[in-house]
Structure formats: C-alpha cells, structure tokens
Amino acid sequence: MMIYVLTGIVAYLLGSVPTAVWVGKAWYNIDVREQGSKNAGATNTFRVLGKKPGIIVLLVDVLKGALAVSFPIILKSIELFSGEVNPDTLQIIAAVLAVVGHIFPVFAGFRGGKGVATSLGIVIGLQPLAAAVCLTVFMIVFIVSNYISLGSIIASICFPFVVWYFRPDSMQMQIFSIVLGAAVILAHKKNIGRLMKGEENKMNLFKK
C-alpha cells in the first residue's frame, strides 16, 4: 500500500511544479494567469511571454509527466517493491496525480494549467510509439490550421485508438487512454466553443 501512496505523492508534487508561473514571475515579473487566456500552461506562455520562455515551459511540463510515470519503473529497477505490484497500475496512478498536480498545483495556490504538455510527457513515458503518432497528428493539424487547441483535441481523440493498437494486452492502459483523452478534451471546452464561433486565437510558432 505504501508504494501506491509514495508514487501518488511524488507524481502530484512533480505535476505541481508551476513552470509557467515561476518563469513568468522570475524573468518578467508577470503572472501568466492574469494575462492572455489566464492559463498557466505552455500555450499561454508563448502568447504572453514569447517563444523562448514558451519553449522552456513546454519542455519542463513535458518532463514532469515523463518523470512521474517513470518513477514506478525506477522503484521496480531498484527492487523497492515486489513483483506482485502491477507496474501498469502504479504508472496510471502516477499519471493521474501528475495531471491533477498540474491543474491544481500546491505550489501555486491550486491555480494551474490544462495539463496538455504534462499529458504529452505522460504519454511519452507510458507509450513512446503512441506518443510519436499522436505528436505527428498534432503537428499536422497545427501546421495546417495554426490552432494549438485543435491539434491537441484531435491528437487526444486519436490517443485511445493508438494505445489500443500498441497495447492490446493491457485493458488498464486502454481504459486510461480513454480517460486521459477525454480529460484533455474537456479541458478545452472553452476552446471548442471559440473554434465553433471562429473566435479562437491562431498561433504561428514559425513566425519570427
């Protein structure tokens, strides 16, 4: 039981690192939660602070998710828990708590982001091949439309199908992929409304 608790706590604390908030305040004396979309994530950081801080926030937030789901594997490699513990279960616990930490960070007054970049890190840590496919889908949609939100939504829809293809042996992972994909889509509820009205902001990361 302790291994589940330890995994959850570590994952939540990793997810709670408010990268966008800390970067904005430390370098620009700006709280990104008070500007732009008021979201403490990579996309709003790009919009409010620019490309360099946006890339830093994106990479760190992705790393948070990847580290969270790698933690149970590290524990297993040093034999801190027996083989009776299901690694898939531990990784799913870590994944859920990392996203919860990003959305409700204890280090930033429980006001965080949507968890998209952290979810990408989780997918990379859990299923690298599925992550590669979904990231490709995201990039294609984003390059064609210039909507980051639309790319994230379409990639999230594809994720459960890709996991089913690569992990037909794990019902846990398949169910989790559906939940994670749905959570990302729900986090973009307002974006979906703006997309339908033609009011969503476009972003061209390749523009100087």
Contact criterion met (CB below 8 Å) for 117 and 42: yes
Burial of 174 (0-12, 13-18, 19+ CB in 10 A): middle
**DSSP letter (8 states) at residue 104:** S
CA–CA separation, 86 and 134 (whole Å)? 26
Alpha carbon distances (Å) from 170 to 55, 58, 76, 88: 34, 29, 19, 8
| pLDDT band, very low/low/confident/very high, at 188 (cuts 50, 70, 90) | confident
| pLDDT band, very low/low/confident/very high, at 205 (cuts 50, 70, 90) | low
pTM, rounded to two decimals: 0.83
Domain limits, the chain? 2-197
The CA-CA-CA angle for residues 168, 169, 173, to 5°, reads 80
Q: Tokens 């204890």 correspond to what residue?
A: 106
With CA atoms as reference, report the closest residue to 112 among 26, 27, 192, 33.
Answer: 33
- What's the mean pLDDT in 138-159? 92
The residue ranking higher by pLDDT, 3 or 18, is: 18
Q: What is the pLDDT of residue 19?
A: 96
Q: Which of 30-39, 94-103, 123-132, 198-207 has the lowest mean pLDDT?
A: 198-207
